[in-house]
Amino acid sequence: MKTLLIVYHSMTGGTQQMAEAAAQAAREQAGVTVRLQRAHASGPADLLAADGYLFATPENLAAMSGIMKDFFDRSYYGVLDRLNGRPYAAMICAGSDGQNALRQLDRIATGWRLKSVAPGVIVCTHAQTPERILAPKIIGADELARCAELGAGLAAGLALGVF
């Protein structure tokens, strides 16, 4: 049985909805155990116990969230050269662009020598005012379907030994 670890952080609920959609679809794939965990409660042992990863973060100030960055900071050296070749994918809940947050996440994954198996999914909420940025997010069905497709594909690939 393969294990897919989904690590996420969410302040206003958008990224959590995305991660939950991916996890639900991944759990429908035979041969895979799915662990959905918040970034603040995850660390090196969780990474080492998994066969593949889905990282989900909001875009904050044109970067990944501080709590997600903290997860990577706390975990980085404890797993360096121990995850080589394992598959990963990423999801970003962005207020405007999301590309820089995705770029940051991909650079960390490159340092760990993880293998990107799908393009990053960026969901743009267009939240540009303080009120909209801080407001609870509701991610639309079409966007959640993209997240579910990513989760299902990652899980199926793990289960079938494709990556």
Q: What is the domain-level CATH number for residue 107?
A: 3.40.50.360
Number of structural domains found in the chain = 1
30, two tokens = 């035979």
Q: In the 8-state DSSP scheme, what is residue 51?
A: S
What confidence tens digit (pLDDT) does each residue in 82-127 have? 999 999 999 999 999 999 999 999 999 999 999 999 999 999 999 9
Give CA–CA dist 19/123, Å, rounded: 12
Task: Say which residue the tokens 């960390």 belong to.
Answer: 108
Q: In the 8-state DSSP scheme, what is residue 138?
A: -
Average model confidence (pLDDT) across the chain: 97
66, two tokens = 């501080």
**The residue type at 26:** A
- Range of the structural domain that residue 116 is part of: 2-160
Please report how the helices 99-111 and 66-79 are oriented relative to each other, as an axis angle in degrees rounded to 10: 10
What confidence tens digit (pLDDT) does each residue in 15-62 have? 999 999 999 999 999 999 999 999 999 999 999 999 999 999 999 999
Confidence of residue 72 (pLDDT cuts 50, 70, 90): very high
